[in-house]
Amino acid sequence: MNLIIDVGNSYVKLAVFDKEELVEKKSVKARCFLEAVNNIGNKYVEISYVIIASVGRLDHSDLKALKKRFNVFVLDVNSKLPFKNLYATPKTLGIDRIALVCGSVSKFSDKNVLIIDAGTCITYDFIDSKNNYYGGAISPGIGLRYKTLNVFTANLPLLEIKMPSELIGDSTENAIHSGVIYGVIKEVDGIISEYKEKYRDLTVILTGGDAKFLSKQLKSSIFANSNFLLEGLNYILHFNLNE
């Protein structure tokens, strides 16, 4: 069994895999991280290896304690990857994006794949059928767009995500919902269409915190998988252990 640890800004995602099968996952606040790991370790004594992503956000003492109990693999820009990285600045490629591309190699190694991660930012990553990774795009996520309108204007309120009932907003709040949500939908559908013009056999993966919300609105045919990053981390752990 493997324990997958994805460290975010405020929360840490933990997932237990038995080979390729996801057995359990949970999200905890960073301050509760070590307690949650110990509880999982006590529950699943068969855990052999741990992989950590975004370790820079993890308290040094927590990492030290983790290494005392488990065999720990830290994913960074120097880790061996199951794809050819053609990014012009490979050292700046985010660990989360690396994990997503590894998930693509694991599931769709012989296909052209566009991975869309709808979280704080919306990232687009493209890898071709020969496992060449080229890069993609980064744009503000849904929540970030709402927050930006509030922070950088004098009078616009901060709103919760809501699907507008009409295209034309008949109030300030409805206009914000229309601008943000339809803007994101049109962006994502448009980018998918552009990629499909160039790669007609394209497979599209949608993941991230807003994936469930967006998947219901998009016109394009996609595979929605909220666990794609965790699966990618599990795959890259196996890849490095078997090298």
Q: Could you say which of 62, 96, 117, 210 is catalytic?
A: 96
Closest to 103 measured CA to CA, from 241, 225, 221, 243? 225
Half-sphere exposure of 92 (CA within 13 A, CB side): 4
pTM beyond 0.85, yes or no: yes
- For the residues 157-166, what does the mean pLDDT come to? 95
pLDDT value of residue 194? 96
pLDDT value of residue 232? 95
Tokens of 29: 């606040």
pLDDT above 90: residue 71: yes
Query: Distance of alpha carbon 11 from its chain centroid, rounded?
Result: 13
pLDDT above 90: residue 242: no
Tokens of 224: 């929605």
How many whole angstroms separate alpha carbon 159 and alpha carbon 143?
9
pLDDT above 60: residue 55: no
pLDDT value of residue 56? 59
Give 58's DSSP letter.
S
pLDDT value of residue 164? 95
pLDDT above 80: residue 94: yes
- For the residues 141-167, what does the mean pLDDT come to? 96
Q: DSSP 3-state assignment of 182?
A: helix
- For the residues 17-45, what does the mean pLDDT come to? 92
Domains of the chain and any CATH numbers: 2-74 (3.30.420.40), 84-233 (3.30.420.40)
Work out the pLDDT band at 219, boundaries 50, 70, 90: confident
Work out the pLDDT band at 211, boundaries 50, 70, 90: very high
pLDDT digits (tens, 9 = 90+) for 189-204: 999 999 999 998 999 9
Does 96 qualify as catalytic in the annotation?
Answer: yes
User: Cβ distance 239 to 82 under 8 Å?
Assistant: yes
Give me the percent of the chain exceeding a pLDDT of 90: 79
Instruction: Bin 137: left if φ > 0, else alpha if -120 < ψ < 50, else beta.
Output: beta
Identify the residue whose tokens are 């591309």: 101
Work out the pLDDT band at 10, boundaries 50, 70, 90: confident
How many whole angstroms separate alpha carbon 25 and alpha carbon 88?
34
pLDDT value of residue 202? 96
Identify the residue whose tokens are 């080979």: 19
